[in-house]
């Protein structure tokens, strides 16, 4: 993985995914290791993102690296009309690796082609967010002890949620049974379903969340946004159907864990937070270990 | 039958050696010229369009003296002119005739239909992988979205 950019989840093989998860496990045991003291990490956030940016900053800082960059394009030369190519070429001179988030889809792929240092994609528009997928895989593996043969439910906005698309694609490597719970308007797009079909795996589609809870090992919740509906009445009809409440979990399997990419608004009520099945805040912490693993592996200080 | 076709083709004079691109949809002739960069060509170039065609009703034709195309070069025009045939002429005789084929990769010719794709926002040449040739589905190398037949626009 040394010097390899991570733009799409499929840029890394299944074996490389597993290696990252193993390395992340080692960082979880010992998070503070100053193995990147001689390195500079550039965090280029062309659009604001609190969690992902802080998570990367925390990962780099815990490994002793220096972090440079910007958290919003209004404070950078982009404001003056500089092209992405010029920004990336220039910043390549100042650092050993670039972490970038950009509002345009495909920006990270393009950056990886012009940069002289590796790129980690921290989200390019609605396209890819591979580090989120790896931390999701890490969380699933950690809570279930394995990745193979699990029943995973995806709930909410399956049409636009990029974290859902990438995780579905990644889980196709592990003989997953997919349970897809969404309003009809927000079903998983066929461009993603085709990966499940090509892997000859089973998927079941539901419109009712209650039906699925007793059957699954992982419940991956996402937020349904009002602006995704062309007719506000359609939104009103479904908005309460995909809210998870603690009382709905009585029939759940003992090993069930609830994941959510965050931020949460109201799709998981706060009474779920104290249930041991709630895992979303730990999931966010796992993101730091996974990003430590990626920085260390891509910079070549671990193998 | 052959004589009849010959007579029609002769509305654009014959060439001694070179390539004839025949059966171009009439309104695509200038796009073909652009894709093959023929406006820069120094040799003889004969162009006809809206000529009668038994197969197509109307067609366009381009004859290029002393120019021979490699397959991947000529296949670039398959998206704008899927009906086109390439005829190789040596000594005024047809030595080879073949239909153009849609290539596996498409560069620069097509616009990505996703308005939020980086190629529509910065000066970056487009690149696509052809997913399906019959239904024509192109996957953008950058944003990974699929541009399908009904929303293809040419640059």
User: Which secondary-structure segment (H or E) carries B53?
Assistant: strand B45-53
CA distance A113 to A122: 16
pTM reported for the whole predicted model: 0.87
User: Which secondary-structure segment (H or E) carries B3?
Assistant: helix B2-9
- B121 and B95 assigned to the same domain: no
- B69 and B126 assigned to the same domain: no
Is A1 a domain residue? Answer: no
State yes or no: is A129 an active-site residue: yes
Please check the confidence at residue A111 and state whether its pLDDT lies above 70. Answer: yes
Give the SS3 label for residue A179. Answer: strand
Q: What is the CATH number of the domain that holds A74?
A: 3.40.50.1370
ipTM over 0.90 threshold: no
* Residue bearing the bigger pLDDT, A74 or A131: A131
- What is the distance in angstroms between the Cα of A184 and the nearest Cα belonging to chain B? 22
The model's pLDDT over B74-129, given as tens digits with 9 standing for 90+, comes to 998 998 899 999 999 999 999 999 999 999 999 988 999 999 999 999 999 999 99
- B14 and B90 assigned to the same domain: yes
Which of A101, A162, A179, A257 is labelled catalytic? Answer: A101
- B81 and B111 assigned to the same domain: no
Tell me, what DSSP letter sits at residue A68?
E
Residue B127 CB contacts under 8 Å (≥ 6 apart), including other chains: B105, B106, B107, B108, B140, B141, B142
> Would you call A109 and B119 a contact, using CB atoms and an 8 Å cutoff?
no
| Domain count for chain B | 2
Whether A67 contacts A57, CB under 8 Å: yes
Q: Tell me, what's the pLDDT at B133?
A: 87
For B136, list phi and psi in degrees, rounded to 5: 55, 90
Which of A17, A53, A62, A129 is labelled catalytic? Answer: A129
The model's pLDDT over A168-191, given as tens digits with 9 standing for 90+, comes to 999 999 999 999 999 998 999 888
Whether B142 contacts A109, CB under 8 Å: yes
- B38 and B64 assigned to the same domain: yes
User: Which secondary-structure segment (H or E) carries A112?
Assistant: helix A107-114
Is A145 a domain residue? Answer: yes
pLDDT-based confidence at B2, cuts 50/70/90? low
Q: Which of B77, B99, B121 is the last residue in one of the domains?
A: B99
Q: What angle do CA B40, B46, B48 make, to 5 degrees?
A: 120
Is A4 a domain residue? Answer: no
CA distance A14 to A17: 5
Full domain range(s) for residue A45: 9-128+287-298
- B49 and B109 assigned to the same domain: no
The model's pLDDT over A135-151, given as tens digits with 9 standing for 90+, comes to 999 999 999 999 999 99
Burial (CB < 10 A; 0-12, 13-18, 19+), residue A25, is middle
Cβ-based contacts of B147 with chain A (< 8 Å): none
| Domain count for chain A | 2
What is the rounded average pLDDT for all residues in chain A? 94
Q: Tell me, what's the pLDDT at A77?
A: 73
Q: What integer is the mean pLDDT of B26-55?
A: 93
Full domain range(s) for residue B148: 105-154
Q: What is the CATH number of the domain that holds B68?
A: 3.30.70.140
Q: What integer is the mean pLDDT of A263-280?
A: 95
Q: Tell me, what's the pLDDT at B138?
A: 93
């Amino acid at each position: 993985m040394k010097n390899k950019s991570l733009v799409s989840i499929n840029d890394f093989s299944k074996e490389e995914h597993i290696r990252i998860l193993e390395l992340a496990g080692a960082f979880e045991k010992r998070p503070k290791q100053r193995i990147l003291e001689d390195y500079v990490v550039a965090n280029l956030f062309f659009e604001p993102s609190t969690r992902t940016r802080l998570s990367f900053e925390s990962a780099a800082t815990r490994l002793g690296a220096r972090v440079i960059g910007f958290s919003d394009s209004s404070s950078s030369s982009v404001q003056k009309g500089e092209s992405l190519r010029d920004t990336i070429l220039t910043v390549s001179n100042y650092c050993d690796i670039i972490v970038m988030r950009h509002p345009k889809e495909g920006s990270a792929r393009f950056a990886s082609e012009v940069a002289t240092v590796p790129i980690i994609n921290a989200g390019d528009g609605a396209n890819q967010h591979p580090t989120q997928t790896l931390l999701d895989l890490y969380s699933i593996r950690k809570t279930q002890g394995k990745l193979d043969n699990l029943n995973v439910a995806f709930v909410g906005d399956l049409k636009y949620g990029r974290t859902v698309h990438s995780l579905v694609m990644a889980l196709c490597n592990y003989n997953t049974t997919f349970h897809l719970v969404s309003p009809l308007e927000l079903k998983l797009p066929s461009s993603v379903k085709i990966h499940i079909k090509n892997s000859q795996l089973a998927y079941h589609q539901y419109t009712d969340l209650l039906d699925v809870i007793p059957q699954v090992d992982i419940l991956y919740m996402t937020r349904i946004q009002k602006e995704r509906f062309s007719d506000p009445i359609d939104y009103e009809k479904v908005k309460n159907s995909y809210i998870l409440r603690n009382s709905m979990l009585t029939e759940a399997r003992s090993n069930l864990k609830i994941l959510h990419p965050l931020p949460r608004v109201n799709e998981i009520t706060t009474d779920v937070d104290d249930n041991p099945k709630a895992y979303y805040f730990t999931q966010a912490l796992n993101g730091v270990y996974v990003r430590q693993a990626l920085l260390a592996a891509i910079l070549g200080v671990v193998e | 039958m052959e004589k009849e076709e010959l007579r029609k083709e002769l509305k654009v004079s014959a060439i001694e050696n070179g390539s004839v691109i025949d059966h171009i949809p009439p309104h695509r002739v200038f796009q073909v010229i652009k894709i093959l960069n023929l406006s820069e060509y120094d040799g003889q170039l004969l162009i006809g369009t809206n000529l009668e065609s038994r197969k197509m009703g109307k067609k366009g034709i381009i004859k290029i003296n002393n120019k021979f195309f490699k397959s991947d070069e000529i296949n670039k025009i398959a998206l704008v002119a899927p009906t086109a045939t390439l005829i190789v002429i040596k000594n005024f005789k047809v030595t080879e005739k073949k239909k153009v084929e849609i290539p596996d990769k498409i560069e620069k010719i097509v616009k990505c239909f996703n308005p939020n794709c980086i190629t529509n926002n910065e000066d970056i040449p487009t690149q696509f992988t052809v997913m399906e040739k019959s239904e024509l589905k192109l996957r953008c190398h950058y944003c990974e979205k699929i541009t399908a037949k009904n929303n293809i626009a040419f640059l």
